[in-house]
Amino acid sequence: MSSFDIYLYGMTLASTMHLLAEEFPQADSYSEIKESYVLPGGETGSCAVVLSSLGCRVKLDGNYQGRRTAGVLKNYLVDKYGVDMSGVFEDPDFDGVQDMVLIAGNTRNCFGTFGAYFDSKVKRWNTPVKEDIMNAETVGLDPFFGEQSEMVAQYCRELGKKYVTIDCKPDSVLHRFSEVNVVSNEFIQNNFPGTDIEELFRKYADNTDGLVIFTFGAREIMFGRRNQPVESFKPYKVKVQSTLGAGDCFKAGAIYGVFKKMPDRELVSFAAATAATVCSRFPLALNPPGLDMINELINKK
The reported pLDDT for the residue numbered 107 is: 86
**Cis-peptide into 283, omega within 30 deg:** yes
Q: Is position 2 within any domain?
A: no
Q: Which is nearest to 59 in space by CA: 7, 133, 136, 13?
A: 7
The reported pLDDT for the residue numbered 2 is: 65
Q: Which residues pair with 125 in a beta bridge?
A: 63
Q: Is position 30 within any domain?
A: yes
Q: Is position 268 within any domain?
A: yes
142 Cβ neighbours under 8 A, 6+ residues apart: 9, 10, 11, 43, 44, 62, 149, 165, 166
Query: Tell me, what CATH number does 206's domain have?
Result: 3.40.1190.20
- State the Cα–Cα distance between residues 196 and 179, nearest whole angstrom: 24
Q: Is position 3 within any domain?
A: no
Q: Is position 43 within any domain?
A: yes
Q: Is position 177 within any domain?
A: yes
Q: Is position 237 within any domain?
A: yes
**Prediction pTM value:** 0.96
221 alpha carbon, distance to own chain's centre: 17
Mapped onto helix, strand or coil, the DSSP state of residue 229 is: coil
Question: From first to last of its 301 residues, what are the pLDDT tens digits of the chain?
Answer: 568 999 999 999 999 999 999 999 899 999 999 999 999 999 999 999 999 999 999 999 999 999 999 999 999 999 999 999 999 999 999 999 999 999 997 888 999 999 999 999 999 999 999 999 999 999 999 999 999 999 999 999 999 999 999 999 999 999 999 999 999 999 999 999 999 999 999 999 999 999 999 999 999 999 999 999 999 999 999 998 888 989 999 999 999 999 999 999 999 999 999 999 999 999 999 999 999 999 999 998 6
Considering its fold, how many domains does the chain have in total?
1
Q: Which is nearest to 220 in space by CA: 206, 205, 210, 231?
A: 231
Q: Which residues pair with 99 in a beta bridge?
A: 15, 112
- State the Cα–Cα distance between residues 243 and 252, nearest whole angstrom: 15
The reported pLDDT for the residue numbered 256 is: 99
178 alpha carbon, distance to own chain's centre: 15
Q: How many CB atoms lie within 10 A of CB 254?
A: 29
Q: Is position 197 within any domain?
A: yes
The reported pLDDT for the residue numbered 243 is: 87
**Are the beta carbons of 157 and 209 closer than 8 angstroms?**
no
| Domain boundaries, position 64 | 8-300
